[in-house]
Structure formats: C-alpha cells, structure tokens
Amino acid sequence: MLKKLLIVFVAIFGVLLSVPTMFPNTAKYFPSFMHPISLGLDLKGGAQLLLEVDTKTMFDEKSVQLYDEVRSAMIDRSKGMIRFSGLKNVDGVVSLVVREDDEVSKAKGRLKSVLGDTVDISSSGNTITLSYSEKQKEEMIQDALARSIEIVRRRIDALGTKEPSIQSQGGKYIMVQLPGVDNPEHIKELIGKTAKMTFHLVNENVTPEQLASGVAPAGTEFLPYMESPWSRVPVYSRIEVSGESLKDSQADFDQNNMPVVTTVFDATGARRFAKLTTEHVNERFAIVLDGQVLSAPTIREPIPGGRGQISGGFTLQGAKDLAVLLRSGALPAPLQVIEERTVGAGLGADTIAQGKVGSLVGVALIMLFMIIVYRVFGFIADIVLLVNLAMIIGVSALMGATLTLPGIAGIVLTLGMAVDANILPFERIRDEIRSGSTPLRAVDSGFNRSMKTVLDGELTNLICALILFQFGAGPIRGFAVTLSIGVITTLFTCIWLSRVLIDWYMRGKNKKIGYVKK
C-alpha cells in the first residue's frame, strides 16, 4: 500500500510542477524552483547570431609571439647568447641562421626546451625553421573555439540575458540564440570586442616632431586614445602587466562621484603591478585595451596589494560594460558576426498557438480512440496520458530545459508512444481472459508479461534520444531532450501509475473487463 501511495504522490507532484507553465498567473504562489518552462527562440522570439572565429588574425598574432619567443631564447644571457642573423617571420614561418656550425644543435635544443611541442622545429644547414603543423593549428582552433564560447557565455550572462543558447557549429563557428532580445546591437558590440588589456610604460623621450611624423622609434608604438583617436600616445611595446592576471573588475565611483572601473589582480599580477608602480614613480603608464589607450595616468606612489582604478570619462553604462569585458577575459581570437536573424515575438506566439492546437487535437483523438476500444481501461489510460503530459512539462521546467517547436513535436510523439505502452498490457489482459483467467489474475499477468516488451521499446527510444542529443545541435537537441524526459515519465505512468489505478478499480470486486469479447 505504501508503494502505491508513493507512486500517486510522485504523479501529483509531477502534475503540480506543470501548473506554473499551464497557468502562468499562478507561478507566484509556488516555490521558486517550481517555475514556468523557458521558451526557445522560435516560440518566444528574439535574436540569433552566427559568429566566426577569426583564425587568420589569431595565427598572425601567434606567429608574432613565436618570433619574440625565439629572439628572447637566442639572446638569453643567463644561458649563454647564441649568435644568429636573418631572424624573420614570413607567412607564419619563423626562420633564422645560426652563425656558428657547432651551435646549431645547441640552438635547436634550447628552442625545443622553451617552446616544447607547440611548434615543429627543423633545420637545413645553419638555417632553423619553426612553424605550426596542420594538427597543431587544428588543436589551436578547437581550443580558441572552446574558450571563445565560454567567454561569450560569461559576457552574456553578466548582462542578465535569460536562457541564451551558445554552442559550436561547423568547426570554427558559434551559434548564439537570445530569446526575448529585440535589439541585439549592444550585445553584438560586447561579444565582438576582444577585450585584451595590457599595461605599458609611456616613452617620455619621444619628441612632438617624432609623434607628428608617425614614425615610432624601435621598441615603441604610437597608439590612439580611445576617446580621441586622432591623438597618439607613445608607449613601449614591452608589456609590463597582462590583463590575463586580472582576477576581478567592477564599476564604481571615485571621490568626485565619477564612474570608474576598479581592478583586482591575482598574485602574479599584483606582484608585477607593485613592481611597476614602485620602480617608476612620477612616470606615466598606459592602460591599453584592444590597441587603444584607455588612460595614461602618472604613477604618484607605489600601489601594492594588486588593486587599481581605471578612469577615463566613463558613463555609468560604459564603466559597467568595460567591467564585464575585463571580468570575462580576453577572447583568444576576434569574432566576426557573419549572420544575424531576428524572430518576432508575434511569430513565436503564432507558433505556440498552432502547436497547442495541433497537440490538443492529437491528444483528443488518442483519448477518444482509447475510450472507444478499451472502455473503462481506456478512460484510465487517458488519465495516465494527461498525467504523463503534465509530468513532461513539469520535469522539463524543473531541469531548466528550453521548450522549442521541435520540443513540442517530441512531446506529441512521446504521447503516441505512451498510448502504445498502455495498449500492450491491455491486449495481453484480453488474451489472458480468453484463456480462462479471472479478471484480477488477468490484470496481474497482463502487466507482468508485457513489462519486458514495454521496457525494451522505451529503452530503444531513450538510446536514440541520447544519441540525437550528443551529436545533434539546436532544434535536434530540443527534440531529444523532451523525448528523453517523455520516455522516463512514460515508463513511470504506464508501468506503475496505470497499474495502481486499475488495481484500485478492480480491487475486491472481480469486475468484468468490458472490452473483452469472448
């Protein structure tokens, strides 16, 4: 008896989970975990962006870094400088000529120890060549894609956008779906920014004439101010502190009640920042974001502790946006928006209405068929079917799944399969009655002997759904999620709940089973 009560309790709880979705106005009366199901882009409306990872720019930057690392390794005085000439970077291939024949193997060994297996190192005579293999490039692309997806997700989540869908597509593309977003321009702007921040010392020895000529001395770059691009700041190319050491950033206000961005570095960044501000008091340093100077303040005193403040005439929204960008990290490669679509909320509402009509018509026809063919047992099966429908919606909402149009199709398909899971024991009961069993014994035997067939069928459906979810994307995953949940709820309602209700109906009365004709 306790087992039967537990089954009924689970069924009632599953139905209650669906009430906030079925009747949204009642959601405020339920606990926070019992919330309406989230609607996908095709039902709620919103924006869809297809982003491409700019691998060419990424490899260009990687080759420049490789050039600098090779040069630093060769002139490392602590290990003994190796004389070389002709260091160059052509189409991503870095090469140099070692002057002494007996130092070629030494140079290759040092480069190997510094660079590891990240590049292929080969030599011909005294010429050493370094390049990325196709396998290494593919690994870099996949790593950049995975990191970009995570950074895009953090940026969008920080903006408060609800139920975004962010996933890889086609090797180097990212599909971003934003339900309920009518104007994605602000989000596009934040997503597209690389947000690479670095700290550089300002070269105070550059004369106004040199600055006007646009020809920077060796080791110096002329970078534009973000607020006034026609102005240039001469900064040393050497990066004193990297934005990768940034641990947190928040929008705040300074003593004059002006918006600023506060920064907190990790242990490594704090140590470098303290060293920078201690050794260069009364000198200027530039805060550079994506190749533009945010500000170039003068260091008045050492700044220990790894906490800093960025000011630059920000608006409050501008300070918040910059804090989001810095907090989420720099993109490993630029992202280009190559496709943009907007789905109107009205179109989503029409889709929902049509889906409701289609689902209701399908369910009504199934229920009518069951009553006509199986009489009272058919009526019980219809109750179980409605409970199954409510549990699919309720469990989907509880798990945070997003309902899409393919998801509705998955629900309708599940209900059709649920009817089949009821028909199998009913037909088995009919066979038992014809063979001379009493109604109560026929019910027990019918459910027991058909259970294996029902389990086999539903398990096959579950395996198919899991495969679709693993290898599918977008709408296919939505279909797979509702199908998987539907398989589990079908097993519960058709194997246990249906039997409990029929047992209660038949208990102690040995009633005649009306749909059996001898």
pLDDT at 346 over 60: no
Per-residue pLDDT at 391:
94
* Helix, strand, coil shares, percent, the chain, to 5: 55, 20, 25
Give CA–CA dist 81/83, Å, rounded: 6
Q: How confident is the model at residue 513 (pLDDT cuts 50, 70, 90)?
A: low
Per-residue pLDDT at 160:
64
CA quadruple 456, 462, 468, 471: dihedral sign:
negative
Collapsed DSSP state (helix, strand, coil) of residue 288: strand
pLDDT at 439 over 70: yes
DSSP 225: B
Q: Which of 47-51, 80-84, 438-442 has the least mean pLDDT?
A: 438-442
Q: How confident is the model at residue 235 (pLDDT cuts 50, 70, 90)?
A: very high
Q: How confident is the model at residue 489 (pLDDT cuts 50, 70, 90)?
A: very high
Per-residue pLDDT at 227:
76
| Residue 168 half-sphere exposure toward CB, CA atoms < 13 A | 17
R_g (Cα) of the chain, nearest Å? 33
Backbone angles phi, psi at 241, to 5 degrees: -140, 135
Q: Which tokens belong to 352?
A: 């929902």
Q: What distances in angstroms separate CA 235 from CA 67, 238, 276, 291, 422, one per listed residue?
A: 20, 9, 14, 11, 76
Spatial neighbors of 352 by CB under 8 A, at least 6 apart, are 39, 43
CA distance from start to end of the chain: 33
pLDDT at 186 over 90: no
Looking at the chain, how many residues does it have?
518
Q: What is the mean pLDDT of residues 407-430?
A: 85
Give CA–CA dist 322/155, Å, rounded: 11
Q: What distances in angstroms separate CA 284 from CA 232, 262, 377, 409, one per listed residue?
A: 14, 19, 85, 63
Q: What is the mean pLDDT of residues 37-53?
A: 82
Per-residue pLDDT at 395:
92
Strands 173-179 and 241-242: unpaired
Q: Answer for the pair 477, 396: CB distance below 8 angstroms, yes or no.
A: no
Per-residue pLDDT at 329:
67
Q: Give the chain's domains with CATH numbers.
A: 2-42+344-506 (1.20.1640.10), 55-136 (3.30.70), 145-339 (3.30.1360.200)
Higher pLDDT, 64 or 121: 121
Per-residue pLDDT at 130:
93
Give CA–CA dist 13/304, Å, rounded: 56
Q: What is the mean pLDDT of residues 233-244?
A: 85
Per-residue pLDDT at 509:
54
| Residue 252 half-sphere exposure toward CB, CA atoms < 13 A | 13
Q: Which tokens belong to 345?
A: 């909320």
- For helices 134-158 and 55-74, angle between their N-to-C axes, nearest 10 degrees: 110
pLDDT at 163 over 70: no
Q: Where are the alpha helices (DSSP H) in 159-292?
A: 185-192, 208-213, 267-279
Predicted TM-score (pTM) above 0.95: no
Per-residue pLDDT at 223:
93
Collapsed DSSP state (helix, strand, coil) of residue 12: helix
Count of C-beta atoms within a 10 Å radius of residue 112: 13
In terms of Cα–Cα distance, which of 115, 108, 114 is closest to 133? 115
pLDDT at 444 over 80: yes
pLDDT at 44 over 80: no
List, for residues 140-162, the tens digit of each pLDDT value: 888 888 888 888 887 787 666 66
DSSP code per residue over 356-417: HHHHHHHHHHHHHHHHHHHHHHHHHHHHHHHHHHHHHHHHHHHTT-EE-HHHHHHHHHHHHH
Per-residue pLDDT at 85:
92
Q: Answer for the pair 243, 226: CB distance below 8 angstroms, yes or no.
A: no
Q: What is the mean pLDDT of residues 416-429?
A: 86
pLDDT at 392 over 90: yes
- Please write down the long-range contacts of 354-359, taking CB distance under 8 Å and 24 or more positions apart: 355/43, 355/405, 355/408, 358/408, 358/412, 359/408, 359/411, 359/412
Beta strands in 40-164 (DSSP E): 46-53, 84-90, 93-98, 120-124, 127-131
Q: What is the mean pLDDT of residues 424-441?
A: 84
Q: What is the mean pLDDT of residues 346-357?
A: 68
Per-residue pLDDT at 512:
62
Q: Answer for the pair 240, 276: CB distance below 8 angstroms, yes or no.
A: yes
Per-residue pLDDT at 140:
87
Give CA–CA dist 326/320, Å, rounded: 10
